[in-house]
Structure 1
Amino acid sequence: MDALPISSFDGDDAGLDRLLAEHALVLSAEEARKVRGLLGRDPTLVEMHIFNTMWSEHCSYKSSRAILKELLPTEGPRVVLGPIEDAGIVRIAEHAGKSWCLVVGHESHNHPSQVVPYEGAATGVGGILRDLYCMGADVFGLLDPLRFGDPEGEQGGRVREIARGVVDGIWGYANAVGVPNLGGDTVFHPSFDDNCLVNVVAFGIVEESRVVRSRVPAEARDANYVFILVGKPTDDSGFGGATFASVDLDEDDVEANRGAVQAPDPFLKRVLAVACRDLLDLLDGAGVSFGFKDLGAGGIACVTSELAQAGGVGAEIDLGKVPVSLPTLPAEVIACSETQERFCLAVPEDWSARVLEIFNDRYELSRVSEGACAAVIGRVRRDGRYVLRLGEQPVCDADVDAITQGIRHDRPRKARQRPAPGPAAGPVREAFDLGEGLDALVGSLACGSRAAIYRHYDTEVQGNTMVRPGEADACVVTPVPGAPFAIAVSADGDPAVGLLDPWAAGAFAVEEAVRNVAAVGGRPLCITDCLNYGNPELPEVMEEFREGVRGIADACRALGVVDDDPAVDGTPIPVISGNVSFYNQSAAGRSVAPSPIVSCAGWLPDAWRVTTQILERPGDALVLVGMRRSEVGGAEISHRFPKIETGAPRPVDFDAARSEIRGVLRVLERGLARACHDISGGGIALAICEMTFGALAATPDFGVSLDLDETSDDSDCDAVGRFFGEMPGFVLEVDPEMVDDVLSVLRSEGAWARSVGRTTCDGSFTVRGRGRRALDRSMLALARSWRGALDAVLA
């Protein structure tokens, strides 16, 4: 195959850039010359496309890996596998003589979902499911943190179209494949007008002895191993998808963008999942060592090179043996296309016939989807070389380490100038009407119900969901039949905080996700993160990225794991998996708000101690955990009423957070509270509303009375800060006779706590402060406004 004449452009960056662009390559001139240097010759077109894919930000993490490695805590006593493969694994508990582990993966599909919303979101779900299947896990749930633009802004029509398409793509795929979608969180913000964010988190369960690794096993150094490709025949969909996700998005380039998005097939995925489970049972039962990895970004070239490099070996692939749907596909497309619903196995050669029989004969993949099959496409080499042939024609010969590890960038960083906060007091706040503020918040896009999204999701398709979306901010599942424990999962992130303080955005994302899990009784086990930022070539973006990662790391170390084992208790919450998504920026230079999105998984040793946010009984006490403060900078009330004096953003207080989380967990595990809700967006005002709205179906006259004077010891904290301030905390519903016991438990952990109100049966939300009634609203009227907030967006 002819070589690209990289050497002909020494000293001519402009000419080399034009040559690269002619072949749809986005490597820089400097990177192209590095490829030539590593090869010792001019590369073939196939080699350049392989390096173009494998050196993209999406695959290589060339700008972020060093920062992640430097800052994040990734190890811990319960960690079985950290963020070195497509999903992380932590040990949960023993049951029936087996050690059970939680498997978590976290990915993004942002650019594809902006261009083709349904397909982009659906294939994002499909990709994360494959990540867990190839670890040996049975997947029991998904979360979908979503970020959309302003549906009422200049691009509102397009924003609504994207939101509807994304939601349809998520439920259309997850429901069909039989995996419960447990919700997530959804934010609307103008910075996402040009770049929506579609993050996906998947959770699975696996016996520790049956964890599968994404690497060629050590046995391949002595025995002959082959690569088997399983799934759909290769086509040209998704060609260039990894690089598409690693450059600024130009929505005007419609055809190129659509070509970089894959086509989903959830029904084939469902059959593949069952067939793979049978195969894993067979190989595990026979004691066969093997490697297993899904095909995502970079296709065959990525999966085979990464399997080989992780195992310390090389690979030789015959592209002519790859099943294709189009006979005229060029070699670089066969190598790098991102056709969906595919897996790759590295198995002993003498086992290959049995592997093929499972997929081609027993499950008859070709009858499920035209051309789908399993085929041997190559073999393991022991010399560390990565070789591709098309029949007898060599098209690639490179060191596998150069392909997978050969590029790193130390990008410059520069802090962005941000305005100083204004005063936290003034005439607008003094005269502010709490009722007007509450009316505006409950019916807003920011604070309204997300039922218009999650009602499309089948949350109970596997029959093991205990707490569903809308019943708490974390969902709870019992993934192991007969086991006493449950798993609680949540996801969070606040772009408004990211614009004010990138470090705080990372820290609060962790804290909020952990609080959500704690509020249902879950002890935090681990987190994963998806780090969504703009163009890393801009120093300000790299500084925001590093600060966000630092905030996540600081929060994980400060909050710590909660465990009965003293050797485990208090160790940093490990970050076991994640994703970096750069270039969430339009061709016009508009970047998304810095958006670290964190998912937390926790466990309940006793599933029957689970608690929801729904109030249960009139006449109970409301206990506030966490003192209110005056700052409302970045809070939802400041966005709805921009003339209000806000002060600084809410401060990060790790000591208070740690005490409150531990105290609440002790209360819930002792069965001392009927309901629990964390305080975040909308402050205690929205927290109490959401707790009450869930009770109205059974008790239409349910109400709440709140005494604002009891919510803070700070005499300078006014009614706006007390009611709408978003300093984290919790609200507990407690039997009046148990209040003293609850306060004693909380205070023994160092948490600020006080009884601040009660539940009633008068159907009203009444608030008193400074000797007068400050608010009186019908709960049913508030609930109607809250429930309809998203209807127009998704209609």
Structure 2
Amino acid sequence: MQQLDNAHILPLSGQDEQALAELLQREGLRLTPGEARRMLELLGRDPTRVEATIFDTMWSEHCSYKSSRWVLKAHLPVESPRVILGPGEDAGVVRLGVHQGVEYALVIAHESHNHPSQVVPTEGAATGIGGIVRDVACMGAEVIGVLDALRFGDPDGPRAAPVREIVRGVVDGIWQYGDALGVPNLGGDVFFSPRFDENCLVNVVSLGLVRADRVVRSRVPEAASREPYVLILVGKPTDETGFGGASFASAVLEENAEGQRGHVQVPDPFLKRVLLEANRAVLEWLHHEKVAFGFKDLGAGGIACASSELAAAGGFGMDVDLDRVPASREDLPPEVLACSETQERFAMVVPERVAERVLDFYNKTYALPEVYHGARAAIVGRVRPDKHYRILKSGQPVGDALVEVITAGIEHRRAERPRATAPPAEPLPPVEDHEAFFTRMVGRPNLASREPIFRYYDTEVQGRMLIRAGEADASVLAPVPGSKLGAAITVDGNPWWVAADPYWGTAHIVAEALRNLVAVGSEPVALTDCLNFGNPEDPEVFADFVRSVRGLGDAARALGPEGPSGPPVAIVSGNVSFYNESRSGRSIEPSPIIAGLGVFDDVSVATTFGIKRAGSVLVLSGPRQDRLGASQLRHALTGKTDGPLPELDFDRERRRIHATLDAVRSGCVLAAHDLAEGGLAIAALEMALGGYEAQGIGMQIPISGLGSTRPESRLYSEAPGFLYEVAKEHLQQFLGIFERWGVDVTMTGRTLAEPRFRILDGGHTLVDLDLESVQRIHADALKPLAE
């Protein structure tokens, strides 16, 4: 081993606990003293600054999953016949179908960018989109869409001004980056709650399309044992932006968060757009020439982490020469060059014999240096056969270890303490004026139209969208031009449910995602998760996390078409985001956010939730319950979110979900909508507004006999279920399908030729409103937040 330069060594060994902690803090490292001693054991010596920075990044919660990995492995199903690649790569890969003899696959990734978006909302959200797009692109896929699940504080509470500023900044970052990139926004999810006042959540999903035989792996290929391979760095010149970003994302958000702006990367969607086009050309050429290669995006930990992971995954080593790294300026320290998280970069390992051709693609054909000053592709390293990993600066090693030492994981088995049993929830006060209360509910932030937010997003670019956000429970697109194959995607979460009961709240979210997919007629094939929680060092927080993951895994197994004895709806990608807590000690509500992916053999069966014609029958599946914990109704009446959640019977819900899929695909359902936040009343209104906007028709619903004693429970219970519009001539066919699945349904209303929305209870009219006036309330409520 070549001698390390003493000027770069950190003298950690021989320090007592306090002195070691102080030294780590002075160096800007978030390693604990115990983790630093483990690093010393692995290296057998004091580390260099570069090595310490690499371990600081690789052992952050963001990268290492040191608190969560064992929980995820113990509880989550990751395999099914549809899955090509599950967790472990940058994105999951799922079979779509065959068109003209070619099998296609969908690539999906799911990440968080929470802390950066709280500190610098526009840049934080934009770089979240940029990172998730890279995760899909480096699998060899064309990126065909993004989604965003957003959690904000109370827009009318004591911190209303900063909350609203963050809302506007995040929305701006998402649309400005996505629109400039030329990638459509497929939808998303928004939820407001005071517990997000100091910690917003920005979770992002990206979807891609790839030929199944051209999925790219993030590893040095086996062919590197037979000929020389080099490492090529592609994209923006390395700078100091984003340095320490992974560690920043893995700690409690400081009170002086404004001082942490340097941890947030700087986005450039126009450069990214050229990079994606150049990548496709390079990958197409490499496939055509039958060249084995590896490809990976640069995210957390920058060059050092990407190169060491490429090497370790393939069973090789690597030399990285920092003098060859294109940089924004000459005086960047080695640890910044090695570990900065500068945006818009990729790493590729290719045979040395084709390297110049690859460089020409980027630097000449696509002229990266002319697109952005200093951008280019450059050879910055070489693959080694001996599993040794070295980082060189000025010809001297500033990092030198076995690659398995660099990429060695670390695990923390955190303490768990279940939360104390909550006292019984107080009875709800009665609703005296149902029509006035209904109009209040329609304008609540968590029930109002999301159109003021997603109106900024470009959904039409690429020309694949068939059903857009706000038109149905899931967005639907035709990924393969000229093919009947289709895909549906949704993203869901309800932090109040999970705060009330982490296990059942998370299971309910999985069920909702699957209901959304089948409501449009797609077969659910995969899930992804982003698990957002507070400080895992708090035993109650960690106990919530473990229960939530158990609920996620159990629901994914139980709700497949054959139940727990058959294949699950596999979880193919995801992310854990801990430390969503401020220095004041205020933590977010536990917030697992689930994306669901569905497929169509024939996308022409897809349907929206807007009612289609007057004189149809409205049918309800799923009895209304008096269990109103964590509901929008309880919060509206009491300001609280306590109480028991609605019951969820896995077998009954599975049969309801798959009966719905059969009914929609049979063509006997004109419209379908799942019941979730706001229950039957809000679902029915959204269906009615869809019909009103298209054809000027309305709806009448009698609610007597729907399984609950109080009218407000029947109207606003968030118990799982569906509301369907069925043409009279197809009613018997519809009922027969549900009878075969053993699912009860109730005919509960009809569509009207006039634009009215009526709710009846026995001989009483509870609500009778003109749809035009209701639409204005529903559509305008969020405008002050987004404009």
Q: TM-score scaled to structure 2, two decimals? A: 0.97
Q: 2:764 aligns with which of 772, 775, 787?
A: 772
Aligned position for 1:104: 108
Shift of 1:134: 0.8
Aligned position for 2:58: 54
Contact 1:628–1:717 (8 Å) recurs in 2? no
2: distance between equivalents of 1:251 and 1:724? 39
1:747 and 2:739 correspond: yes
2: distance between equivalents of 1:209 and 1:738? 42
Q: Residue type of the partner of 2:253?
A: L
Aligned position for 1:485: 485
Deviations 1:672-711 (A, max 9, x none): 01111111000000001001112222333x2211111242
Shift of 1:434: 2.6
Contact 1:561–1:569 (8 Å) recurs in 2? no
Deviations 1:222-270 (A, max 9, x none): 2211100000000000000000000001141423x11000000101111
Shift of 1:480: 0.2
1:673 and 2:676 correspond: no
Shift of 1:182: 1.1
Deviations 1:331-390 (A, max 9, x none): 000001000000000111111111111111111100000000000011111222221110
Shift of 1:154: 1.4
Aligned position for 1:366: 369
Q: 1:129 aligns with which of 126, 133, 150?
A: 133
2: distance between equivalents of 1:217 and 1:571? 31
Q: Matched residue of 2:692: which SS?
A: coil
1: distance between equivalents of 2:227 and 2:642? 68
2: distance between equivalents of 1:509 and 1:315? 43
**Relative to structure 1, is the Cα distance of residues 585 and 301 closer, same or farther in structure 2, using a 3 angstrom cutoff?**
same
Q: Matched residue of 1:345: which SS?
A: strand
Shift of 1:476: 0.3
Q: 1:5 aligns with which of 8, 11, 31?
A: 11
Aligned position for 1:629: 625
Contact 1:319–1:388 (8 Å) recurs in 2? yes
Shift of 1:738: 2.0
Q: Matched residue of 1:449: which SS?
A: coil
Contact 1:678–1:729 (8 Å) recurs in 2? yes
Aligned position for 1:349: 352
Q: Matched residue of 1:205: which SS?
A: strand
Aligned position for 1:315: 318
Stretches (4+) displaced over 6 A = 643-646
Contact 1:83–1:578 (8 Å) recurs in 2? yes
**Relative to structure 1, is the Cα distance of residues 104 and 395 closer, same or farther in structure 2, using a 3 angstrom cutoff?**
same
Q: What does 1:495-514 align with in structure 2 at a 5 Å threshold? A: 495-514=495-514
Shift of 1:178: 0.6
Shift of 1:769: 1.9
Q: Residue type of the partner of 2:600?
A: L
Q: Matched residue of 1:6: which SS?
A: coil
Q: Matched residue of 1:276: which SS?
A: helix
Aligned position for 1:547: 547
Q: Residue type of the partner of 2:99?
A: H
Contact 1:249–1:587 (8 Å) recurs in 2? yes
Contact 1:505–1:596 (8 Å) recurs in 2? no
2: distance between equivalents of 1:529 and 1:638? 27
Q: What does 1:576-591 align with in structure 2 at a 5 Å threshold? A: 576-591=572-587
Contact 2:505–2:645 (8 Å) recurs in 1? no
Q: 1:161 aligns with which of 156, 159, 165?
A: 165
1:212 and 2:216 correspond: yes
**Relative to structure 1, is the Cα distance of residues 289 and 645 closer, same or farther in structure 2, using a 3 angstrom cutoff?**
closer
CA-based RMSD: 1.6
Shift of 1:773: 2.4
Q: TM-score scaled to structure 1, two decimals? A: 0.96
2: distance between equivalents of 1:414 and 1:452? 41
Contact 1:421–1:633 (8 Å) recurs in 2? no
Aligned position for 1:610: 606
Structure 1: runs of 5 or more not aligned: none
Q: Matched residue of 2:187: which SS?
A: coil
2: distance between equivalents of 1:646 and 1:598? 23
Structure 2: runs of 5 or more not aligned: none
Q: Residue type of the partner of 1:743?
A: L
**Relative to structure 1, is the Cα distance of residues 122 and 273 closer, same or farther in structure 2, using a 3 angstrom cutoff?**
same
Q: What does 1:193-592 align with in structure 2 at a 5 Å threshold? A: 193-255=197-259, 257-422=260-425, 428-429=429-430, 432-561=432-561, 570-592=566-588
Shift of 1:644: 9.5
Contact 2:500–2:643 (8 Å) recurs in 1? no
1:92 and 2:96 correspond: yes
Identity %: 49
Q: Residue type of the partner of 1:771?
A: G
Q: 1:661 aligns with which of 657, 660, 676?
A: 657
1: distance between equivalents of 2:145 and 2:255? 32
Shift of 1:159: 0.6
Shift of 1:405: 2.5
1: distance between equivalents of 2:211 and 2:687? 37
Q: Residue type of the partner of 1:583?
A: Y
Contact 2:77–2:568 (8 Å) recurs in 1? yes
1: distance between equivalents of 2:601 and 2:28? 53
**Relative to structure 1, is the Cα distance of residues 421 and 382 closer, same or farther in structure 2, using a 3 angstrom cutoff?**
farther
Aligned position for 1:146: 150
Aligned position for 2:698: 703
**Relative to structure 1, is the Cα distance of residues 557 and 348 closer, same or farther in structure 2, using a 3 angstrom cutoff?**
same
Shift of 1:645: 11
Q: Residue type of the partner of 1:20?
A: L
1:736 and 2:742 correspond: no
Q: Residue type of the partner of 2:455?
A: R
Deviations 1:363-421 (A, max 9, x none): 11000000000000111112222211102121011222222223111111111124133
2: distance between equivalents of 1:136 and 1:502? 36
Q: Residue type of the partner of 1:707?
A: P
Q: Matched residue of 1:182: which SS?
A: strand
**Relative to structure 1, is the Cα distance of residues 644 and 271 closer, same or farther in structure 2, using a 3 angstrom cutoff?**
closer
Q: Residue type of the partner of 1:221?
A: S
2: distance between equivalents of 1:197 and 1:755? 40
2: distance between equivalents of 1:699 and 1:209? 46
Deviations 1:269-304 (A, max 9, x none): 111111110100111011111000000111001100
Contact 1:112–1:261 (8 Å) recurs in 2? yes
Contact 1:388–1:396 (8 Å) recurs in 2? yes
2: distance between equivalents of 1:752 and 1:739? 14
1:596 and 2:592 correspond: yes
1: distance between equivalents of 2:640 and 2:698? 29
1: distance between equivalents of 2:233 and 2:255? 33
